[in-house]
Structure formats: structure tokens, C-alpha cells
Amino acid sequence: MIDFEPHYRRVEQLIYAWARAIDEDRVEHIAELLFDDGRYTVKSRFNHDRGLPLAVIDAQSAAQLRDRILSMRKANVYQPQHYRHMLSGVHIASGDDNTFEVTHNFLIVRTMDLSGDMKIFATGQCHDLIVLTPEGAKFKERLFLFDSRVVETLMVIPL
């Protein structure tokens, strides 16, 4: 059995860095953390468990993710809001010397800038494929499975 401990911190901190970029309104940065041919998918647990393909976001490259973020910045009309990511239970489920399957739980609180309303926007589990490179750790795949289908129609900012 491989001991993942020497790699745990880098894996965990990569996951934290993604969340921090979004919370700090530097969402463009997340595309830098995804391989060019990486995949970023946000989907309901309900659809995933039934093998249904429908996803809220399914970017099949870093370029597609950049487009999505650009559209959020330029085209979408939505109330000013921001997220706060709470992440828990980072677990390296399997891997070899430099590629790891990792899961963790997320809870995102959304605050509306004008009214100050706070609410739990999404909870769920994230499944990642993370690769260590000489330049640092990066995501090959991110699959966010959120718990409540109510989220689907409301998502503007990536998770």
C-alpha cells in the first residue's frame, strides 16, 4: 500500500487554492489550476447517481472554463454576490507516485452584497483527479456533485 502522507499537503492546498480564488473574486485563476485538457464538471448527485448526463457546467478544457468565466464577467446579469467555501474531509482514495484520486465535502455559503442575506447555496462531494508536476500540483479532473437539485437554476459563479 502506498503512503500518501508525503503528498497530502500539496493535494489539500491545491484544493484550497481553487476555493480561495473564487471567494476572493479572482475566479479567472482557477483556469490556471486545470490542465489544458482537463475537465471541470458540476452536476447534481441525483443526475449522477442515475447516470444522467445533464450537468450545470461541463468544461472539457481550461479554455472552455475561461470562456465560462468570461461570460460570467461580461454577459450574465445577476445580483452582486459572493461565495464562501467551507471544505472538509480531504481524502486521498487512491493513486500512485504522482496522480491521486481525491474526494472532499464542500459547503458554500452565498452572501448577497446589497441585502447581506446569507444562505447555504450548495453542499456536496467533490471528486478530483490531481497530478503532481515539477511546476506544482494541478487538476486533471474535477467533478462537483451537489446534494440538492434546487441549486441548478441559480448557479452563475463556478463552484
Kindly list the residues in this chain that would bind a copy of itself in the complex (CB under 8 A).
Answer: 5, 8-9, 13, 16-17, 19-20, 23-24, 46, 82, 84-91, 103, 105, 107, 109, 111, 113, 116-120, 123-125, 147-151
**Cα angle, residue 76 at apex, residues 80 and 33 outer, rounded to 5°:** 85
Minimum Å gap between C-beta 67 and a copy of itself is 27
Q: Considering beta carbons, is residue 71 or 98 the nearer one to a copy of itself?
A: 98
Number of residues in the chain: 159
Beta pairing, strands 136-146 & 118-133: antiparallel
Minimum CB separation of residue 68 from a copy of itself in Å reads 23
Q: How far is the CB of 61 from a copy of itself (least distance, A)?
A: 27
- Pick the closer one to a copy of itself by CB: 85 or 138: 85
H or E element at residue 21: helix 5-23
Q: CA end-to-end span of the chain, whole Å?
A: 33
36 vs 116, beta carbon nearer a copy of itself: 116
The distance of closest approach from Cβ of residue 155 to a copy of itself in the complex, given in angstroms and rounded to an integer, is: 14
Q: Dihedral, CA atoms, 83, 51, 53, 124, nearest 10 degrees? A: 0
Q: In Å, how far from its chain's centre is CA 81? A: 18
User: Which is closer to a copy of itself, CB of 67 or CB of 113?
Assistant: 113
